[in-house]
Amino acid sequence: MCKSALHPFLAALPKCEHHVHLEGTLSPNLEFTLAQKNNISLPGNDAAFTSPSSLLERYSHFTSLDDFLHYYFVGMSALITSSDFEELAWEYFKHAAEDGVLHAEVFFDPEAHTSRGVPYQTVVAGFKAACQRAERELGISTELIICVLRHLPVESAMEAYETAVTAGHFADGTLAGLGISSTELNKPPANWKAVFAKAEKQGIRRTAHAAEEGPPQYIADALDILHVQRIDHGRRLVEDPVLMKRVADEGIMLTLCPISNVCLKGMSSMKDMPIRKFLDAGVHFSINSDDPAYFGGYILDNYCAVQETFQLSVDEWNLLAGNAIEGSWCNDERKRELRKALAHLQWRRSLQYVYRSLQIFDREYAPGIQYFKIHRTRHPGQAFNPLINERREFG
C-alpha cells in the first residue's frame, strides 16, 4: 500500500490497462514450476537461476532494456502447452482484478514462441481461454493484441501477421490489433511499413512502442508512416514540444509505464517521468504495468508511485481514468459500462464528502448552536453573546 491518503480512492478507481505483455507477467515461481513440468533446463551458468528467489533478486538489478529482454526471452522457454499460456494469463488477470482493472488490452509475442517450435495456435488457444475466463469469472473485458518484434527480421513480422490473418483471428475478434515492441535503438518504425500498411488496409487497429529508448522522431514516424492510432510508452515525447502539441491536439493516447521506465534506467527516478508536463499539455495517457513480474509493480503499484511523486488531485485522476476509457479499443457498450463505473465511484466519493462534512459540522458547530438555543431560552430578552461563561455547561 502506498502512503498517500488517496490510496483507498486509487484502489477503487476503475482501471483500464493498455500496456502489459502477458509473457512479462511470468513470475519466477511459475517459471520454475513450468520448466520442471515441461523438462526445460534453465541456464545453469547463471547464478540467478539457482532458485525463484535468486531470480527475483536479479530482476531488481536490470541495467537496460536489453538486459531485461535477455531474462524475458529465457523465461518464455518454459511455456510449451496451451495450458501453460492459459495459466500464465490467468495469474495476471487475477492480480489485475485485485487492483481494480475492469478492462485489459494485453500484448503477446507469437514470434518468440513459433521461433522455438511452439505453434501459433497453441499460444492463442491458451491466452484466449484465459481471456474468456477473466470475462466470465472476474468481469474483466479483454482484448488481445499481437506484437511483432523489432529485434527479429521484418520477414518474420510479416509471417506472424499473415499467420494471424489466415487463422481468421482479426476477423473473428480473437485479436483486437497489431503492435510492435522490443528494443528500439537503431530500429526505426519505417522498417515495418509493409506490415502495418497491410493491417491498415484490412481495417486492423495499430499501435507501436516508440520513444521509450528511441528519439521522439520515432513517434512521428509511427504516426506518419505506420499510421498507428496509439503510442506505447512515448515518454520522450516531452523532448519535442511541437510534436507534443500535435499528439495532444489529435487525441493520440500514450500508454505510459512509469515503474518500468525507472527499472530499465530510462529515467533516474520517478520524478523524471513527465506526468505533470503531459497533463499540463493536454496529452492523453494511461498508466500501465508493462512487465510487472520483472519490475515488481502491477498497475496499482504504478498508480501509487505516480501519486506519491506528483500528488495528483482527485479531479486529475478522474480525468486520467476517463481518458483511459475513451482510448480503449473495446466496443461502445463496454465503454458506457466503464463510464458508469467511474461515475458511480465519483458519486460515492461525493456522498462520503457530504457525510464527512456533516461529521465535521456536528463536531465543530453543533455545541455552539446548542449553546445559543439554551442561552436564548434562559435570557430571551438579551442579545446572544458567545463570551458568556455558560459555555461550561457543554464541556
- Count CA within 13 A, CB hemisphere, residue 352: 8
Q: State how far the Cα of 361 lies from the Cα of 390, in Å rounded to an integer.
A: 21
Is residue 109 within 8 Å of residue 21, measured between CB atoms? yes
Domains of the chain are 8-330 (3.20.20.140)
pLDDT for 58: 98
The residue among 345, 335, 267 whose CA lies nearest residue 306 is: 267
Helix segments in the chain, DSSP class H: 7-12, 28-37, 52-59, 65-76, 82-98, 110-114, 120-133, 154-166, 193-201, 217-224, 241-250, 258-263, 275-281, 292-295, 299-310, 314-326, 332-364, 366-378
pLDDT for 330: 98
pLDDT for 359: 59
**Known binding residues for substrate:** 291
Residue 30 amino acid letter: L
Is residue 206 within 8 Å of residue 179, measured between CB atoms? yes
Mean pLDDT by 10 residues, the chain (395 residues): 86 98 98 98 97 98 95 97 98 98 98 98 98 98 98 98 98 98 96 98 98 97 98 98 98 98 96 98 98 98 98 97 98 98 89 55 55 46 42 32
Cell output for 144: 488481445
Q: State how far the Cα of 102 lies from the Cα of 135, in Å rounded to an integer.
A: 9
**Known binding residues:** 19, 21, 209, 290-291
**Known binding residues for Zn(2+):** 19, 21, 209, 290
- The single-letter DSSP state of residue 42 is P
pLDDT for 347: 86
pLDDT for 169: 98
Q: Which helix (H) or strand (E) holds 285?
A: strand 284-287
* Active site positions, annotated: 212
pLDDT for 360: 56
- Count CA within 13 A, CB hemisphere, residue 232: 26
